[in-house]
Amino acid sequence: MRKRTILLGIAAVAIAGFAVAAGVFFGLFQSSVVAKDVATPLTADEMKRLAPRGAYIATVADCYACHTAKGGAPWAGGMPFQTPFGTLYATNISPDKEFGIGNWTRADFHRAMQDGIGKTGANLYPAMPYTSYRQMSSEDVDAIFAYLMTREPMRVENRKNELAFPFSIRRSLAFWNLINLHGGGFVPDDKRSAVWNRGRYIVDALAHCGECHTPRNLMQGMKAADYLKGAVIEGVEAPDITKEGLTRMGFQPLTLAQFMKSGVSALGSMTNQMFEVVHFSTQYMRDEDLTAMSAYLFDLDSMPATSPAPPAPAPVDVPAQVATAARATYDNLCAGCHGANGQGIPHVAVPLLTNVSLRIASARNLVHAVLHGIPAQRFPGLERMEPMPGFADLLDDHAIADLANWMRARWGGQQPNLTAQDIAKLR
């Protein structure tokens, strides 16, 4: 009798568990932040009025960069995203009726942007930052929708994602959302200034900074406890952009705002994905929005009138043998462009003696640049940096470890603790 009760109990728990899992799978527990009134379509006049604002919001949200493949048709998708689960391709968001969003309603668009649910009811993959856009105001979502509908339709078919099972099942994202999709719309903090709140809205909602700069958990959801503390994306580090992290890198509120506007500074140049962000987004942002972002990231209620550069980190000693080997490598392969004393050449090569990549705790970005180089980059205002060659085939792991240790200790105040094995892992 007792055995039977236990078995029945186990069966009941199993059935309940299955029912809950099925409920999650079919979206019963999916919460929505989409406003009820979006069922009413926008009038033609409203669409026309909202479109110019949408152009700006879409720029701040950097929609174009992800939804346009390199050399591809504008807004037609195709940009690949390497994830630990496989490759995802951005979709066509031009107003093409067959392949794009030409047949989408206002409500469809809101659900995609804020709940991560596409027109057919299928889940979107969270490479589309709906976890951040969830905080976007309903008016801003409307504005982007109105703007996208003014773009030229592009008849470009969407590429099929290349994902491993079970990630290829879109429904499985219902479980992901249950764990990783939190909160409702943006709620201003009435104890803080309008500038701070505007900055937080841009950082968290529109510009979705946390998507790259916040570390992710095993399921690739953002770890709320490590908000903006830096993460590795496609082999390079999106650094810690908390107030502490920014200060350690040598930023001050005004220099950070200027860096986002121009992409270059004495602290280095934007590279990798952040270069694209400057190229398509931040350079076009209004000055007041850039300073608001900077104020929020530095946790300030108003921007200071001046921002003196913080002192350079104190150099750290390195063993003489390492210094000798590294100095020879530096003189032979780096000094031609970066200067004998790391001073750089204006409009050609960034200075190293004040460079962020030498100050951050991880040597990943420095080693990545040494191994693979950096392509030529055009920045706003006719500024340009010449290409940096990669040295993966000229320098062995020991030589790179010595070089990185010496430069980081000399100019970044970092302990020379990199080994050849560390470099081998980063190759």
Partner 1 sequence: MTIETKPFSLSINGQKAGPFEVPQGMMMLDFLHEYLNLTGARMGCGQGICHACTVIVENKDGSLREMRTCITGAHWFADKQVRTIEGHAKHDANGKLVALSPVQQAFIEHFAFQCGYCTPGFVTGATVFLEQLRREPVSRAKLDEAIIAALDKHICRCTGYVRYLEAVRDVALKTPGLVVG
Which C-beta is closer to partner 1: that of 331 or that of 396?
331
Dihedral over Cα of 64, 65, 68, 73: its sign: positive
Q: Which of 348, 378, 419, 427 binds partner 1 (CB under 8 A)?
A: 348
- 203 with 242: CB under 8 angstroms? no
Which CB atom, from 217 or from 324, has the smaller least distance to partner 1? Answer: 324
Work out whether 139 is an interface residue with partner 1 (CB under 8 A).
Answer: no
When asked if residue 340 is in the footprint of partner 1 (CB under 8 A), the reply is yes
Does 335 bind partner 1 (CB under 8 A)? Our answer is yes
Q: Which of 31, 332, 417, 419 binds partner 1 (CB under 8 A)?
A: 332
CB of 381 to partner 1, least distance (A): 20
| 110 in a labelled binding site | no
Which of 11, 20, 328, 420 is the binder for partner 1 (CB under 8 A)? 328
Question: Which DSSP symbol is given to 203?
Answer: I
- Looking at the Cβ atoms of 104 and 391, the one nearer to partner 1 is 391
Q: Which of 410, 139, 380, 186 is nearest to 278 (CA)?
A: 380
Residue 26 burial (CB count, 10 A) = 11
- Residue 301 and residue 56: Cα distance in Å, rounded? 24
**142 near 34, Cβ under 8 Å?**
no
Q: How far is the CB of 395 from partner 1 (least distance, A)?
A: 11
Q: Which of 316, 333, 361, 392 binds partner 1 (CB under 8 A)?
A: 333
Let me know: does 95 contact 12? Beta carbons within 8 Å. Answer: no
Count, residues near partner 1 per rule CB under 8 A: 15
Contact 293, 207 (CB under 8 A): yes
Q: Supply 365's token pair.
A: 């970005």
3-state helix, strand, coil in the chain (%, to 5): 45, 10, 45
Q: Kind and range of the H or E element at 31?
A: none
Would you count residue 331 as binding partner 1 (CB under 8 A)? yes
Stretch that binds partner 1, among 27-35, 76-84, 100-108, 383-391 (CB under 8 A): 383-391
Q: Is 182 marked as binding a ligand?
A: no
Contact region with partner 1 (CB under 8 A), list: 14-22, 185-193, 196-204, 386-394: 386-394
Cα–Cα distance measured from residue 218 to residue 226, given in angstroms and rounded to the nearest whole number: 14
Minimum CB distance to partner 1, residue 394 (Å)? 9
Q: State which residue, 27 or 390, has the beta carbon closest to partner 1.
A: 390
Per DSSP, the residues of 238-269 read E---SHHHHHHHT--HHHHHHHHHHSEETTEE
Residue 118 beta carbon to partner 1: minimum distance, rounded to whole angstroms: 40
Q: Counting every residue, how long is the chain? A: 427
What's the DSSP call for residue 394? Answer: T
* Position 345 contacts partner 1 (CB under 8 A): yes
Question: Judged by CB under 8 A, does residue 166 bind partner 1?
Answer: no
Nearest to 389, CA basis, from 407, 379, 374 = 374
Of the candidate residues 304, 336, 375, 381, the single one contacting partner 1 (CB under 8 A): 336
Comparing CB distances to partner 1, the nearer of 170 and 372 is 372
Q: How far is the CB of 352 from partner 1 (least distance, A)?
A: 15
Q: Are 319 and 278 in contact (CB under 8 A)?
A: no
Please report the sign of the dihedral spanned by the C-alpha atoms of residue 258, residue 264, residue 266, residue 267.
positive
Which residues lie across from 378 on neighbouring strands?
384
We find the least distance from the C-beta atom of residue 379 to partner 1, in angstroms, to be 17
Say how far apart CA 221 and CA 33 lie, in whole Å: 19
66 is known to lie in a ligand binding site: yes
Specify the stretch interacting with partner 1 by CB under 8 A; choose among 94-102, 252-260, 309-317, 381-389.
381-389
What is the C-alpha to C-alpha distance for residues 281 and 63, in angstroms, rounded to an integer? 9
Least spacing, CB of residue 398 vs partner 1, in Å: 16
Answer for which of 233, 254, 337, 361 binds partner 1 (CB under 8 A) is: 337
53 or 398, CB closer to partner 1? 398
Any binding-site annotation on 67?
A: yes
> 3-state class of 225 per DSSP?
helix
Q: Which residues does the annotation place in the binding site?
A: 63, 66-67, 209, 212-213, 334, 337-338
Q: Which residues are at the interface with partner 1 (CB under 8 A)? A: 327-328, 331-333, 335-337, 340, 345, 348-349, 386-387, 389
Q: Which residues does the annotation place in the binding site for heme c?
A: 63, 66-67, 209, 212-213, 334, 337-338
